[in-house]
Amino acid sequence: MFQQSKLLKSFSYAVEGMTHALTTQRNMRIHFVVALCAMILSLLLDLSKLEIVLVFFSIILVVAAELFNTAIEAVVDLVTHDYHPLAKIAKDMAAAAVLLTAVHAVIVGFFVFFDKLFPPKFRNLQDTGEMAIYVAFIPLGILVLLLISWRAYARTKKQG
């Protein structure tokens, strides 16, 4: 029982970190909206398992990079409020990592979605066949994004 409560607390802290990033970081909100759109497209378009994995991997990579960027900025701001060239380097490199992952996601998105959008090749949701178990993860991802977004929205309303 003791271990289970520690595990639940660690998940709670992780959700708290994501919620904080979503409420305080404009770029994280942009990433969430783009991720939601990519997941909806992944559900509607006829993507393969590999394409779904690539989309999810790209989303997670960008969001993780943004979380690391936010954490590095917070630590640098904690250490010094004065301008320091090393603080600038740390912040700039963290931002560069986010930019790099975002460019990667755009490239993956182009390769995955372009041929499916022009002309549109929609998934037959009544007959997903062997893909059903894989496609089921897409609404789960959408649900996670929406729940975290709702929590961040509720926190913003409570503070404001």
Q: Is 48 helix (H, G, I), strand (E, B) or coil?
A: coil
- What value does the mean pLDDT take over residues 50-78? 97
Confidence of residue 129 (pLDDT cuts 50, 70, 90): confident
User: Tokens 């003791």 map to which residue?
Assistant: 2
Structure tokens, 99: 């930019």
pLDDT digits (tens, 9 = 90+) for 67-120: 999 999 999 999 998 999 999 999 999 999 999 999 999 999 999 999 999 999
pLDDT digits (tens, 9 = 90+) for 2-46: 577 888 888 899 999 999 999 999 999 999 999 999 999 999 999
Predicted local confidence at residue 52, as pLDDT: 95
Residue 64: count of CB within 10 angstroms of its CB: 13
Predicted local confidence at residue 98, as pLDDT: 98
DSSP of 93-117: HHHHHHHHHHHHHHHHHHHHHHHHH
Predicted local confidence at residue 132, as pLDDT: 80
Residue 74 CA to residue 58 CA, distance in Å, equals: 24
pLDDT at 157 over 80: yes
pTM for the model stands at: 0.87
Structure tokens, 59: 């989303």
| Nearest alpha-carbon partner for 73 in 12, 13, 25 | 25
Under a CB-based contact definition with an 8 Å cutoff, are residues 30 and 40 in contact? no
Active site positions, annotated? 66
Predicted local confidence at residue 2, as pLDDT: 58
Predicted local confidence at residue 1, as pLDDT: 52
Predicted local confidence at residue 105, as pLDDT: 98
Number of helical H runs and strand E runs in the chain: 6, 0
Structure tokens, 36: 């939601």
